[in-house]
Structure 1
């Protein structure tokens, strides 16, 4: 240790911090297993910091050993844990912290960062991005949406993870506690959830199709030819859309949500049920002649 380091204390170099972040960003899931979950990946991410802070082999071995223990979080938002632990290791190297405190803080951070990450990133931001990219594929070229997603997702993930990593290192545990206590994080989470619900609602109205084959079919005289033709005199779907547009797709979406969340149906079982209902309704359409009349009406409208 140089005389400057003795007077100012140990400080993690910017290069070591960047290597630590990139190790976590690219390899956080490389060794996930039941025994320590993300523990090995966390130890690998901390290796550049430990090498930068400690001189002896024994100190480095002890530091690595405490960071390969059980650890789990949502990787993107969870990068704030790495930043906080880097700051604690720096304090420990300067005699202002203890290994026991570092291990306790790591365990305490698992719950909140996992919950926040899963709800904010996995449950909100990613679905919003997917919905936007799906819309781009529909209104533009079919390849445009996947290309936008392949660019925006890794770049956005990298920026978010790096900013949270820096926030954790600079603000430390106190900064995270103050942010959570101020309610800013809760307001941000609520805003993102509301935005996600709006996008999912628009996606439901645009992509979910549901009609019922109920109506009144009768014969009317065609004024141009003077012949009697079959037509739909009363269309239940048009009536429903008249006072509540897209009501049936909305009800179908709520029904699927109810089966999945309340009744604990598997996605495969739900898809099977929808297939059975679709086959039954389609059969009713053809047996009653409703489908034939609809096809004739659609062809006539297209010809006009």
Structure 2
């Protein structure tokens, strides 16, 4: 039986341990089924064990954290902090809001994090250190790299974690018994974000044509795109989701199915490479 009661509040040392465990492993614990989720579980598991004395509650929390998660590791610090605070504050009742919060924000956070940290700032620092190295200065690039790493660690990552933690507490304090409404709102946002990824990430189009007398119509541009742009990606996504709901179909099996299906359809001209 799961319990709704909290029996333990985390110390600052417990929270710091979560931060450092995630910082150390970062994006190292990775798989193609849940992407960065193993890193989250590794970072949060000691704290969650202290929060949940009941074994079933603890397992449910770990299973919830092990769901698909993919964002810029730096920005993930804030979501980890918020998740931790919500579960510490509201226990097992917070599992659904936690998942909804992560699902709705991991996409936008990835866009922000990748643009600012992975592209802009890293490019600037890399250009500076590279120029110094080419000029024969071997000490300055190492020193700048070390200073930059410390700035990112203590000036960005750590504040993001604690900012996320404080935000998580604020969410629970503010909404309290209205968590179900928060969950619904976050779920809608999450579905919207995931839905927007379908036409931008998944590219599928058919090369088939339909002839009626002397008139030839391209099924993709003349029919499917007129009904709904990106209709085939939506259908493909729906089918994969339905397969994943079946216990006999694992993510690995779905990947191989997509590869085989794409090769066969490409060979017979049913599918073509999107322009």
Partners of 2:159 and 2:116 lie apart in 1 by: 15
Is 2:121 the counterpart of 1:125?
A: yes
Indicate the SS of the match to 2:125: helix
Give the alignment partner of residue 42 of structure 1, picking from 40, 43, 63: 40
Deviations 1:208-263 (A, max 9, x none): xxxxxxxxxxxxxxxxxxxxxxxxxxxxxxxxxxxxxxxxxxxxxxxxxxxxxxxx
Counterpart residue number, 1:23: 21
Deviations 1:27-48 (A, max 9, x none): 1222212100001111111112
Partners of 1:9 and 1:29 lie apart in 2 by: 32
Q: Are the aligned partners of 1:133 and 1:148 in contact in 2 as well (CA < 8 Å)?
A: no
C-alpha displacement of 1:138: 4.9
Partners of 2:101 and 2:75 lie apart in 1 by: 16
Partners of 1:173 and 1:125 lie apart in 2 by: 31
Indicate the SS of the match to 1:37: coil
Deviations 1:8-28 (A, max 9, x none): 985321111111111111112
Counterpart residue number, 2:153: 158
Partners of 1:134 and 1:100 lie apart in 2 by: 46
For the pair shown, the structure with the greater C-alpha radius of gyration is: 1
Indicate the SS of the match to 1:70: coil
Partners of 1:173 and 1:37 lie apart in 2 by: 27
Partners of 2:71 and 2:143 lie apart in 1 by: 27
Partners of 2:94 and 2:164 lie apart in 1 by: 18
Indicate the SS of the match to 1:130: helix
Indicate the SS of the match to 1:71: coil
C-alpha displacement of 1:64: 0.8
C-alpha displacement of 1:91: 2.2
Partners of 1:59 and 1:124 lie apart in 2 by: 42
Q: TM-score of the superposition, structure 1-length normalised?
A: 0.50
Q: TM-score of the superposition, structure 2-length normalised?
A: 0.55
Deviations 1:166-207 (A, max 9, x none): 0000123868xxxxxxxxxxxxxxxxxxxxxxxxxxxxxxxx
Partners of 1:116 and 1:34 lie apart in 2 by: 22
Is 2:145 the counterpart of 1:147?
A: no
Q: Which structure 1 residue ranges, 5 or more long, are not aligned?
A: 1-5, 176-304
C-alpha displacement of 1:152: 2.3
Q: Are the aligned partners of 1:135 and 1:145 in contact in 2 as well (CA < 8 Å)?
A: no
Write the mapping of 1:1-304 to structure 2, written as runs, cut at 5 A: 10-93=8-91, 97-138=93-134, 141-159=136-154, 160-172=156-168
Deviations 1:76-108 (A, max 9, x none): 122111111111111222x7x432111111111
Relative contact order: is structure 1 or structure 2 higher (C-alpha 8 Å, sep ≥ 6)? 2
Deviations 1:245-295 (A, max 9, x none): xxxxxxxxxxxxxxxxxxxxxxxxxxxxxxxxxxxxxxxxxxxxxxxxxxx
Q: Which structure 2 residue ranges, 5 or more long, are not aligned?
A: 172-275
Deviates more, 1:141-150 or 1:24-33: 141-150
Q: Are the aligned partners of 2:51 and 2:88 in contact in 1 as well (CA < 8 Å)?
A: yes
